[in-house]
Chains A and B, each alone.
Chain A
């Protein structure tokens, strides 16, 4: 069996590792193998961060470029940086957010705009949602990662119930309801993309 490869990209501090953990836990719930790789250490300090998740993965954790079935981008510049990982027919679920790297301001470069980046991603037919707004709606901006998991759930070979159970197991008990709400809002927001 070949794996379904998912790349999650974003900026250190956006809760990407937790999103990856929820998906891995959902694989466990379904009794499936999973391999994942994540970024730790210095790169986490506001740098570009990537998580590889290989659902039904039996071998190494790293996805070859051109093979991912889904790219979950928590930020649009990062969507651009990692788009070459997508394989033929691969889908992009992206958060409608541009975080301009501080170095762009320090070097007085032209900051990239949302319109321009979306133009460069248009050929992928991306599913773009406002995860930050949905997260606030769910109860806290910190739940944007579960909004993204909800949106991605439409394109993942996993049952939504498994992902919901994985959320229950992975987030602090007091925040379970809020995170499940975020998951549902993300799922609804991406509903039109399918």
Chain B
């Protein structure tokens, strides 16, 4: 046993190594991404690791491995589960032979997401066990056990950490990583189990339902759900909210903590029965609360459904303190909570200096002054600040939303944007569909050769796999042409005049047009050693027109009432192309000035 200071996701990845996982796949998504990244960064890697093109593909790969008798992990964020939900539901029918752990990280408060979802609902929907850790240590321990549980039950096990578990750090007791050699699996041919025609599905559904009492009993033996009686009033909590409650709750209040689903209803009923009233404190949907209400038998229950606990967002020690105080379980605080200082300028995230998205958006606005701009999920969603992002709902939606808006009869041009990884994830069917069904639109693929926002994971245009093998990058041009697009042009957005020319040509054409704006992400380029001459403003030539400042590059600021370029400059040179008075140029090289 070694004590280490680990990020939640590091502890989870280490647990997978301790449990001798043979296979891990996933699609990046905050807050889940570091698990696969850490596994692939191991010097000695006893397992196969894959960044798949989307969560459904990652899920199916991992499921097949578990059918073949090996231990398998798939990772995704909560919205990725929507993409993987189709195989998820049926995987409960087929079951698994080797341990199969589905890591699905939820993001209460949508810190880095388009919505808030609760994966515990998927677990109930699919009739699969779900483990919900309260701490980093528990996350580590649960992952090791989840593989064993999955094998005991013959079912996939959902493991559902939240942002504040994945991205918190703690002292953690870890065991040694397994040194077992990579094992070989074998597909156990069994059509009655793996070929889900109706005649096979019906008995499998029945068998899954009949297995549920065993699932409850097995989980009860794991003691993830614990009930400690303290007095006539009780609090029941689950996931990380347990730690907030534990920090505050007086000893004379009972505490029930839920870490595993489905919950043993008899144990829950017995705990509630001894109380005068019960409060349920949980993030996400009222999953525990609905169970508690069903088993309360007249004991008054409060929680989300009666407004005692907020329905949305995340909890914290401070938030739980005010919930407990309002319920009379803690003394009322002496004064109002400390308020943030007023009028502090906001500092939202911003595209990097030299980011290729900024000149691409700039060119789009020059060419299409009044268009509809469906967009998608990635760093480029920050184009919202530039007025060129009109929609963001889910991965891969931009091409199909664009064709839908066209078919609705919209008179303005429709110009959609999507990143390379998002296009490969699930944008291709939308493009194919738009072409075949006769939409009029332009799709701009923002091709920075990587999955940027989540931490630069490689994808099929990057030319490298998660295992570090060099591969021929797939051709986005060839994919678009195969979808039936005849206008496919690739341009570097650092060359602003050419980008504008290509977009003008696209605008003049009928049908579906694709412009691929291609330039490596400025962060990966810097890491790869790319150094460009940086730029500077000639103070005498600057007319203070504000054009460069409005461009929004963090390297451009005002100093002594003139534009000035700071050390963030990466040398993309686009500001020199937009300055109307020619006041911006490359720095003179030392010794040549």
The reply to whether B171 and A33 form a contact with Cβ atoms under 8 Å apart is: yes
The reply to whether B344 and A46 form a contact with Cβ atoms under 8 Å apart is: no
Which residues of A lie under 8 Å from residue B170 when comparing CB positions?
A: 33-36, 61
Q: Is B83 part of the contact surface with A, judged by Cβ < 8 Å?
A: no
The reply to whether B169 and A60 form a contact with Cβ atoms under 8 Å apart is: no
The reply to whether B453 and A105 form a contact with Cβ atoms under 8 Å apart is: no
Which residues of B lie under 8 Å from residue A45 when comparing CB positions?
A: 349-352, 379, 382, 453
Residue ID in chain B nearest A25 by CB atoms: B5
The reply to whether A59 and B244 form a contact with Cβ atoms under 8 Å apart is: yes
Q: Is A12 part of the contact surface with B, judged by Cβ < 8 Å?
A: yes
Indicate the size class of the contact surface on chain A: 35 or more
Nearest-neighbour CB distance to chain B for A17, whole angstroms, equals 9
Q: Which of A99-118 contact B (CB under 8 A)?
A: 100-106, 108-109, 111-112
Which residues of B lie under 8 Å from residue A41 when comparing CB positions?
A: 30-31, 111-112, 453-454
Which residues of A lie under 8 Å from residue B344 when comparing CB positions?
A: 77, 80-81
Q: Is A64 part of the contact surface with B, judged by Cβ < 8 Å?
A: yes
The reply to whether B112 and A43 form a contact with Cβ atoms under 8 Å apart is: yes
Q: Which of A29-63 contact B (CB under 8 A)?
A: 32-48, 58-63
The reply to whether B169 and A42 form a contact with Cβ atoms under 8 Å apart is: no
Residue ID in chain A nearest B248 by CB atoms: A59
The reply to whether B112 and A40 form a contact with Cβ atoms under 8 Å apart is: yes
The stretch of B85-93, B286-294, B467-475, B549-557 in contact with A is B549-557
Task: Write the A60-75 contact mask toward B (1 if CB under 8 angstroms, else 0).
Answer: 1111111000000000
Which residues of A lie under 8 Å from residue B317 when comparing CB positions?
A: 59-60, 62-64
The reply to whether A104 and B345 form a contact with Cβ atoms under 8 Å apart is: yes
The reply to whether A102 and B553 form a contact with Cβ atoms under 8 Å apart is: yes
The reply to whether A34 and B5 form a contact with Cβ atoms under 8 Å apart is: yes
Q: Is B167 part of the contact surface with A, judged by Cβ < 8 Å?
A: yes
The reply to whether B557 and A100 form a contact with Cβ atoms under 8 Å apart is: yes
The reply to whether B347 and A105 form a contact with Cβ atoms under 8 Å apart is: no
Nearest-neighbour CB distance to chain B for A87, whole angstroms, equals 9
The reply to whether A46 and B350 form a contact with Cβ atoms under 8 Å apart is: yes
The reply to whether A35 and B338 form a contact with Cβ atoms under 8 Å apart is: no
The reply to whether A83 and B341 form a contact with Cβ atoms under 8 Å apart is: yes
Query: Given contacts A46-B350, A103-B346, are A84 and B112 in contact (CB under 8 A)?
Result: no
A67 to B344, CA, bound (A): 21
Q: Is A162 part of the contact surface with B, judged by Cβ < 8 Å?
A: no
Q: Is A14 part of the contact surface with B, judged by Cβ < 8 Å?
A: no
The reply to whether B316 and A105 form a contact with Cβ atoms under 8 Å apart is: no
Q: Is A21 part of the contact surface with B, judged by Cβ < 8 Å?
A: yes
Query: Given contacts A45-B379, A60-B316, are A36 and B168 in contact (CB under 8 A)?
Result: yes
Residue ID in chain B nearest A3 by CB atoms: B247
A38 to B247, CA, bound (A): 20
A27 to B111, CA, bound (A): 28
Q: Is B164 part of the contact surface with A, judged by Cβ < 8 Å?
A: yes
Task: Write the B382-410 contact mask toward A (1 if CB under 8 angstroms, else 0).
Answer: 10010000000000000000000000000
The reply to whether B453 and A42 form a contact with Cβ atoms under 8 Å apart is: yes
Q: Is B307 part of the contact surface with A, judged by Cβ < 8 Å?
A: no
Which residues of B lie under 8 Å from residue A21 when comparing CB positions?
A: 5, 169
Q: Is A28 part of the contact surface with B, judged by Cβ < 8 Å?
A: yes
Residue in contact with B240 in the complex, picked from A60, A77, A83, CB distance below 8 Å: A60
Residue in contact with A47 in the complex, picked from B3, B240, B349, B556, CB distance below 8 Å: B349
Residue in contact with B347 in the complex, picked from A35, A64, A66, A101, CB distance below 8 Å: A101
Q: Is A183 part of the contact surface with B, judged by Cβ < 8 Å?
A: no
The reply to whether A28 and B171 form a contact with Cβ atoms under 8 Å apart is: yes
Nearest-neighbour CB distance to chain B for A98, whole angstroms, equals 10
Q: Is A175 part of the contact surface with B, judged by Cβ < 8 Å?
A: no
Nearest-neighbour CB distance to chain A for B309, whole angstroms, equals 16
- Centre residue among A36, A47, A64, A103 by max chain B CB count within 10 A: A64
Which residues of B lie under 8 Å from residue A60 when comparing CB positions?
A: 164, 240, 243-244, 247, 316-317
A25 to B172, CA, bound (A): 12
Which residues of B lie under 8 Å from residue A61 when comparing CB positions?
A: 164, 168-170
A58 to B513, CA, bound (A): 57
The reply to whether B347 and A109 form a contact with Cβ atoms under 8 Å apart is: no
A48 to B352, CA, bound (A): 14
Nearest-neighbour CB distance to chain A for B143, whole angstroms, equals 19
Q: Is B337 part of the contact surface with A, judged by Cβ < 8 Å?
A: yes
A12 to B347, CA, bound (A): 10
Q: Is A24 part of the contact surface with B, judged by Cβ < 8 Å?
A: yes
Which residues of A lie under 8 Å from residue B454 when comparing CB positions?
A: 41
14 of the cross-chain contacts (CB-CB < 8 Å) are A33-B170, A35-B168, A47-B348, A60-B164, A61-B169, A62-B244, A62-B316, A63-B317, A64-B316, A77-B345, A80-B344, A102-B553, A105-B557, A108-B546
Other A-B pairs, 19, CB within 8 Å; known A42-B349, A45-B349: A28-B5, A35-B168, A47-B348, A59-B244, A60-B240, A60-B247, A60-B317, A62-B318, A65-B318, A65-B340, A78-B347, A84-B338, A101-B346, A101-B347, A101-B350, A102-B350, A103-B347, A108-B546, A109-B345
